[in-house]
Structure 1
């Protein structure tokens, strides 16, 4: 398990799937805001990769996020679009509604940075998020991500086009930040 200050990133367990389906993916608005396509219902027993981890997929790594204090499931985290040639990946975080606003997002992003830069030896991590997702923007920036641009009206969400913000973090900046914190 990868550990942050408050949360751990561990493998997805079978008992996580019904909770994630009910609290993240069956929520139409949340799902529409966090996915790149339209919401669709997920039937029981689905093999949807957002829920069921396929260990043979080299381009992504998915985790369940748990509280360190009690082991309670609080969300998901992943690196996706992993590009071994350019040594880059994208960061994804999804917290259960009951876990939001408690600083877990910042901790999850930090643990994913450790995994990406230290464990996987990546050179760059990138986050794309809706411009009004203040929690994710704060979590990213607290971990050293820099706003690199705005994709105007690039995301169709529940009947409207919204802007997306692109943030990036380079390995050298991550290491400098980690060294300064010691």
Structure 2
């Protein structure tokens, strides 16, 4: 498990799927804001949160609270480009886990993994312009606002701007992954 101050990132377990599906997929408004594709009703068997083998371009994690071990959300690196050493970050916190600082810690742990384990040079994060919590998490993790894509996201019947954040390896203030106690 990758550990931050508040959260741990681990492989997705089968028992995570119903919780993530109910809290993130079945909540239509949340899903509309978290995905560029239109919301579709899906059964648990076809859930986008089902465990899948990691591949070179996408690595999925479940986010757990270190305080009590409860599932807090999902995180992923996607669009991983090993030649140019670049990746996008995506996170979604379950409703009961929002406002606890988990998003910022999750972004920091993803950066630590991307920079220290994968050897990436750049991490990028995109979020809706009105997602103030994610914007603050990105800034708190050291990201820089690089631009705004005007009206690029169709969300709940209207177009919304996307804000692009970037972080380069030499701008990152993290350190090596600490060893776990045995």
Shorter-chain TM-score range: over 0.9
Match of 2:178 in 1: none
What's the CA shift for 1:42? 1.4
Alignment of 1:22-171 (within 5 A): 22-46=22-46, 48=47, 50-55=48-53, 57-171=55-169
What's the CA shift for 1:178? 3.2
Distance 1:56 1:22 in 2: 23
Unaligned runs of 5+ residues in structure 1 are none
Distance 1:170 1:42 in 2: 37
Q: Per the alignment, in what secondary structure is the counterpart of residue 90 of structure 2?
A: strand
Distance 2:157 2:54 in 1: 36
Distance 2:36 2:64 in 1: 25
Give TM-score, length-normalised by structure 1.
0.93
Kept in 2, the 8 Å contact 1:79–1:90? The answer is: yes
Q: Per the alignment, in what secondary structure is the counterpart of residue 174 of structure 2?
A: helix
Distance 1:146 1:26 in 2: 32
Unaligned runs of 5+ residues in structure 2 are 176-182
Match of 2:180 in 1: none
Distance 2:82 2:174 in 1: 23
Q: Which residue of 165, 173, 178 maps to 2:174?
A: 178
Distance 1:18 1:62 in 2: 16
Kept in 2, the 8 Å contact 1:88–1:123? The answer is: yes
What's the CA shift for 1:121? 0.4
Kept in 1, the 8 Å contact 2:17–2:44? The answer is: no
Q: CA RMSD in A?
A: 1.0
Distance 1:126 1:159 in 2: 27
Match of 1:18 in 2: 18
What's the CA shift for 1:57? 2.6
